[in-house]
Amino acid sequence: MFKVNRRDFMKLTGGAAVVGSVLGMPHIARAAGQKVVVIGGGPGGATAAKYLKMGNPGLDVTLIESGDSYVACFLSNEVLSGERTLESLTVGFDGLKKYGITVVKDTASAIDPAAKKVTTSGGKTFDYDRCVVSPGVEFNYEAVVGYSEAASHKAPHAWKAGPQTLLLRKQLEDMKDGGTFVIVAPPNPFRCPPGPYERAAQVAMYFKHKKPKSKIIILDPKDDFAKKGLFIKAWTSLYGYGTPDSMIKWVSGADGGKVDKIDMETLTVSAQTEDFKADVLNVIPPQKAGHIAHVADLVNEKGWCSVNKKTFESSKHPGVHIIGDASDATTMPKSAYSASSQAKVCAAAIIDLLAGKEPGDPSYVNTCYSIAGPDYGFSVAGVYTYDAEKNEIAGVKGAGGLTPVDASPEMLKREVGYAHSWLANIVADSWK
Amino acid sequence: MKIKMSLMALLGGMVFGGAALAEPTPAMLANACAGCHGTNGLSVGPTSPIISGMASEYFVAAMAAYKKGEWPSTIMGRIAKGYSDEQIKAMGDFFAKQPFVRAAQKNDAAKAKTGAKLHEEYCEKCHEKGGSAGEDAGVLAGQWMPYLEHAMEDYTSGKRPMTKKMQKQVDQLVQDHKHAGVEALVNFYGSAK
Ligand SMILES: Cc1cc2nc3c(=O)[nH]c(=O)nc-3n(C[C@H](O)[C@H](O)[C@H](O)COP(=O)(O)OP(=O)(O)OC[C@H]3O[C@@H](n4cnc5c(N)ncnc54)[C@H](O)[C@@H]3O)c2cc1C
Chain A's closest residue to B43, CA to CA, is A425
**Do the beta carbons of residue B33 and residue B51 sit within 8 Å?**
yes
**pLDDT bracket for residue B172 (50, 70, 90):** very high
CA gap B156, B167 in Å, rounded: 9
| pLDDT tens column, B58-82 | 999 999 999 999 999 999 999 999 9
Indicate the CATH number of A142-283 among 3.40.50.510, 3.30.70.100, 3.40.50.12160, 3.50.50.60: 3.50.50.60
Residue of B nearest to A346 (CA): B28
Residues of B in contact with A28 (CB under 8 A): none
Give residue B11's pLDDT.
36
Instruction: Say which of B23, B101, B150 has its CB closest to residue A414.
Output: B150
Residue A38 has pLDDT above 60, yes or no: yes
pLDDT tops 70 at residue A251: yes
Confidence band, pLDDT 50/70/90 cuts, at residue B134 = confident
Is A420 in Cβ contact with B47 (below 8 Å)? yes
What's the whole-model pTM score?
0.93
- Residue A13 in contact with partner chain B when CB distance is under 8 A: no
Q: Provide the CB-side half-sphere exposure for A328 (13 A, CA).
A: 18
Q: What CA–CA distance (Å, rounded) separates A177 from A215? A: 9
- pLDDT surpassing 60 at residue A3: no
As a whole number, mean pLDDT of residues A352-360 equals: 97
C-alpha–C-alpha distance, residues B80 and B66, integer Å: 6
pLDDT at B1 > cutoff 80: no
Q: How confident is the model at residue A32 (pLDDT cuts 50, 70, 90)?
A: low
Nearest-CA distance B186 → chain A (Å): 17
The confidence score (pLDDT) of residue B137 equals 86
State the pLDDT at residue A178. 98
Q: Chain A residue closest to B56 (CA)?
A: A1
Are residues A56 and A27 in contact, defined by beta-carbon separation less than 8 angstroms?
yes
Nearest by Cα to B61 from B133, B163, B155: B163
Query: Among A19-33, A278-292, B152-166, where is mean pLDDT lowest?
Result: A19-33
Q: Does the beta-carbon distance from A1 to B132 stay under 8 Å?
A: no
Q: Rounded CA gap, B182 and B176, in Å?
A: 11
pLDDT averaged over chain A? 94
Cα of A342 from ligand 1 centre, angstroms: 13
Between B15, B38, B146, which is nearest A428 by CB?
B38
Q: What is the pLDDT of residue A22?
A: 39
CA distance A124 to chain B (A): 33
Predicted confidence (pLDDT) at residue B20 exceeds the cutoff of 60: no
Q: What is the pLDDT of residue B22?
A: 65
Q: What is the CATH number of domain A6-138+287-431?
A: 3.50.50.60
Task: List the domain boundaries for chain A.
Answer: 6-138+287-431, 142-283
Give the residue among A232, A217, A220 at the shortest CA–CA distance from A187: A220
> Does A138 sit in the ligand 1 pocket, CB within 6 Å?
no
CB burial of B87-120 (b: ≥16 within 10 Å; e: otherwise) equals: bbbbbbebbbebbbbbbebebbeebbebbbebbe
The pLDDT > 90 percentage for chain A reads 92
Q: In the prediction, which pLDDT does B135 show? A: 75
For residue B34, the chain A residues in CB contact (below 8 A) are 425, 429
Q: Residue A418 is nearest to which of B29, B32, B48, comparing CB atoms?
A: B48
Q: Which long-range contacts does B108-114 make (Cβ < 8 Å, 24+ apart)?
A: B108/B187, B109/B191, B111/B183, B111/B184, B111/B187, B111/B188, B112/B184, B112/B187, B112/B188, B112/B190, B112/B191, B113/B188, B114/B184, B114/B188
8 A C-beta contact, residue A348 and residue A51: yes
**Ligand 1 contacts CB of residue A194 (under 6 A):** no
Q: Could you tell me if A428 lies within 8 Å of chain B, comparing CB atoms?
A: yes
Residue-level pLDDT at B136: 79
Q: Do A276 and A217 meet the contact criterion of CB atoms below 8 Å apart?
A: yes
Report pLDDT digits (tens) over A164-201: 999 999 999 999 999 999 999 999 999 999 999 999 99
Residue A303 has pLDDT above 50, yes or no: yes
Q: Which residues contact A178 (CB under 8 A, 6 or more apart)?
A: A211, A213, A214
pLDDT band at B133 (very low <50, low <70, confident <90, very high): confident
Q: What is the pLDDT of residues A91-129, one digit of tens each?
A: 999 999 999 999 999 999 999 999 999 999 999 999 999
Spatial contact of B53 and A2, defined as CB atoms under 8 Å apart: yes
Judging contacts by C-beta atoms under 8 Å, the chain A residues touching residue B55 are: 1
User: Mutating which of B59, B63, B78 best tests the A interface, going by the most A Cβ atoms within 10 A?
Assistant: B78
Residue B9: is its pLDDT beyond 80?
Answer: no
User: What is the distance in angstroms between the Cα of A190 and the nearest Cα belonging to chain B?
Assistant: 21
With a CB cutoff of 8 Å and minimum separation 6, the contacts of A124 are A104, A106
In this predicted structure, the answer to whether residue A45 has a pLDDT above a threshold of 90 is: yes
A362 lines ligand 1 (CB under 6 A): no
Q: Is the pLDDT of residue A21 over 60?
A: no
pLDDT recorded at residue B7? 32
Bridge partners of A184, per DSSP, are A219, A283
Substitution target from A1, A2, A358 for chain B, most B beta carbons within 10 A: A1
ipTM of this predicted structure: 0.91
- Whether A399 and B15 lie within 8 Å, measured CB to CB: yes
Domain annotation for chain B: domains and CATH numbers:
22-97 (1.10.760.10), 109-190 (1.10.760.10)
Q: Is A192 in the pocket of ligand 1 (CB under 6 A)?
A: yes
Q: A33, A58 in Cβ contact below 8 A?
A: yes
Number of residue pairs across A and B with CB atoms under 8 Å? Answer: 182
A367-393 pLDDT per residue, tens: 999 999 999 999 999 999 999 999 999
How far off is chain A from B27, nearest CA to CA, in Å? 8
Could you tell me whether strands A180-184 and A280-283 are parallel, antiparallel, or unpaired per DSSP bridges? Answer: parallel
CA–CA distance, A137 with A291 (Å, rounded to integer): 8
What's the pLDDT at A432? 98
Q: Summarize pLDDT for B82-107 with one digit per residue, the tens.
A: 999 999 999 999 999 999 999 999 99
A17 vs A49 pLDDT, higher one: A49
Which residues fall within 8 angstroms of residue A32, CB to CB, at 6 or more apart?
A58, A59
Chain B nearest-CA residue for A20? B40
